[in-house]
Amino acid sequence: MRQKIALLQAQREEHKLLFIEDNEGLRHNVQQLVQKFFQETYMARDGIEGIALFKKHQPQIVITDINLPRMNGLQLAEQVRSLNPRAKVIIMSAYDDKEYLFEAIRNNVFRYISKPAKVAKIIDVLYETKSALKAEEERSFFQNQLEEIFHYQNHLVVMLSDDLPVLANQRFYDFFGSDDLPASFEKLKALRSVSSDLREIPDTEWFAHARRFPGKPFHTKMANEKGEQRHLVLKLQTLPDREHCSILTLEDITDLNLLTVTPRRPAKQGEDTLLHKMQRIHERAEEIKLHSFYKGLAITNPATFVAVGESIVLKTAFIQLKAAHHAKQLIISSEALPYDIVCDMPDRIAFDEETITLSNLRVAENSPTRRQYIRLEPEPHHTVMLSCRGVELNEEIRIIDLSERSARVEISVLPVCLKSEEYVQLSLRLPGGRGVALSVNAQIFRIDEGEEAHHLVLMYHLQDAQRTQLRNYLSTRQMALIREFRSLDVKTE
């Protein structure tokens, strides 16, 4: 009993109560009791007055006598039900007639208390009523959250309360091929090959880590009910005003092939030309890999040669055609090729035929497909400054792309002090939800001079805190670019 009283008092502000009783003494005594458990209580002497107070204050709990002037308690319960079906009505009566009981059931009365009611009985009923309301409100809250999510995305979604699954959408059930939500969720929590930056980290307690860093994306590969390996991005988000409640979303980005790694054997002396190699691959109908980079986001799909000659015609997935349509560069890779092959601009993209035509191919000496670190374009509204030998440069500067180890910047005018292997101070501020403000000593690795602007590749070593800050930014930026790419339209030919 003490525990119930403590819980009722702790939830004093959550619900309102209306009590209708024509006996003034009983009404006063009940008021003295319920005021301990409800911040807002309203008292009425008859059914008409009770309905008026209900309409005005919308209490979630109504306790009423049956035998009332002007409108009896059962008629009042019927009107309350029509005004708010979720309100809980409790009947108090000295009558034990079955007719009253059946009528109460028809009007969806929550509890029926016989008079004279003891204090302990009233407390028990209030506790049961508040518990039922809280459970319904939480379920309604989860349902509203789910419906809102369902309208805007096709992710797998699980609603959690105290880290236990409560609801899931149909895509979640379809993925696991089971209606057993707890068992499917345990399979998910048992994952041990999860990472936050596309580099797999074994034996990671990802769920506990996600709890500490809500909103941080985690990448993993997991088999669906068909046994197909899918690349999922997991994100746990705590809900505002309900810290014990959270939403786990799983976005399937398998079609982007971001976790694909293609092994490469070294070239041998005397091997055929690249053109002959491609002709051999075409004759054997072997698959190759096509790579496009949308603002640094690597998108990889299998492809096959349709024709190999003066022009190269490849058949590939729609998503790769879309990527090539927007990207600046296309790369061909295969275990049968000693080098990656680069095409800066496709000749033709035929969406209806699912083909892409290439020419003017060249060998990639330093292919982006072999990068160890993710390198992405930042948002356009960033700021960057360079200082050389203690002097801040006033030229126009912007970041082209950056990673944990390097940044490529564009500068309008190349001062004399900027030379290869020279050290500079790089200060940058990147916007977004996981914004970054860094200042680091960097070395100029390479300078590519142009007619209108010059590109500098800067190498740096970050401290642990700086690396974590930039890694989190890149992880968030990567997810933003995935969503941006998926929303892009293409004009089919």
Residues 6+ apart with CB under 8 A from 411: 386, 393, 395, 396, 397, 418, 453, 454, 455, 456
pLDDT for residue 269 is more than 50: no
Least confident range from 82-96, 291-305, 390-404: namely 82-96
CATH of 153-252, one of 3.40.50.720, 2.40.128.520, 3.30.450.20, 3.40.50.300: 3.30.450.20
pLDDT for residue 417 is more than 50: yes
| Fold adopted by 2-136 | Rossmann fold (3.40.50)
One-letter amino acid at 480 equals A
pLDDT for residue 98 is more than 60: no
Work out the average pLDDT over 305-327: 90
Work out the average pLDDT over 342-370: 83
Name the most confidently modeled range: 11-25, 97-111, 159-173: 11-25
High-pLDDT (> 70) share of the chain, %: 86
Question: What's the token pair of residue 17?
Answer: 């109560």
Give the per-residue pLDDT at 262.
39
Give the per-residue pLDDT at 333.
87
| Closest to 300 in 3D by CA, of 316, 314, 277 | 316
Residue 320 sits at the vertex; the CA angle it makes with 346 and 406, to the nearest 5 degrees, is: 85
| Closest to 425 in 3D by CA, of 408, 411, 442, 437 | 442
Q: What CA–CA distance (Å, rounded) separates 313 from 343?
A: 12
Work out the average pLDDT over 468-474: 87
Domain ranges of the chain: 2-136, 153-252, 274-370, 383-486
| Closest to 40 in 3D by CA, of 14, 63, 21 | 14
What confidence category does residue 266 fall into, taking pLDDT thresholds of 50, 70 and 90?
A: very low
What is the residue-averaged pLDDT of the chain? 83
Work out the average pLDDT over 288-315: 90
Give the per-residue pLDDT at 190.
80
pLDDT for residue 271 is more than 50: no
The more confidently predicted of residues 371 and 358 is: 358
Give the per-residue pLDDT at 66.
87
Give the per-residue pLDDT at 350.
92
Q: What CA–CA distance (Å, rounded) separates 304 from 468?
A: 40
pLDDT for residue 171 is more than 80: yes
Least confident range from 103-112, 148-157, 337-346, 422-431: namely 148-157
Q: What CA–CA distance (Å, rounded) separates 327 from 322?
A: 9
pLDDT tens string 272-301: 467 788 888 888 888 899 999 899 888 889
HSE of 35, CA atoms in CB hemisphere, 13 A: 8
Give the per-residue pLDDT at 318.
92
Superfamily (CATH) of domain 383-486: predicted glycosyltransferase like domains (2.40.10.220)
Global model pTM greater than 0.75: no
Give the per-residue pLDDT at 43.
96
Strands 362-364 and 383-388: unpaired
Q: What CA–CA distance (Å, rounded) separates 331 from 340?
A: 7
- Dihedrals φ, ψ of 341, to 5°? -115, 135
Neighbours of 52 (CB within 10 A): 12
Cis amide bond preceding 431, omega within 30: no
Q: Where are the alpha helices (DSSP H) in 69-192?
A: 73-83, 98-106, 119-152, 170-176, 181-189
pLDDT for residue 491 is more than 70: no
Name the class of domain 274-370: mainly beta
What confidence category does residue 339 fall into, taking pLDDT thresholds of 50, 70 and 90?
A: confident
Name the most confidently modeled range: 316-320, 471-475, 489-493: 316-320
Work out the average pLDDT over 409-438: 86
The more confidently predicted of residues 363 and 402 is: 402
pLDDT for residue 432 is more than 90: no
CB 408 within 8 A of CB 401: yes
Residues 6+ apart with CB under 8 A from 345: 328, 360
What confidence category does residue 206 fall into, taking pLDDT thresholds of 50, 70 and 90?
A: confident
| Cα–Cα separations (whole angstroms), residue 236 to 155, 258, 369, 389, 424 | 13, 21, 30, 45, 39
pLDDT for residue 1 is more than 60: yes
pLDDT tens string 437-463: 889 999 999 898 888 889 999 999 999
Give the per-residue pLDDT at 371.
66
Q: What CA–CA distance (Å, rounded) separates 30 from 350?
A: 78
High-pLDDT (> 90) share of the chain, %: 29
Work out the average pLDDT over 222-228: 87
Q: What CA–CA distance (Å, rounded) separates 6 from 4?
A: 5
Run of H or E residues at 43: strand 40-44
Give the per-residue pLDDT at 235.
85
pLDDT for residue 145 is more than 70: no
| Start-to-end CA span in the chain (Å) | 75
Name the most confidently modeled range: 50-54, 74-78, 136-140: 50-54
Work out the average pLDDT over 82-91: 91
Give the per-residue pLDDT at 268.
44
475 by Cβ neighbours in 10 Å (0-12 / 13-18 / 19+) ranks as buried
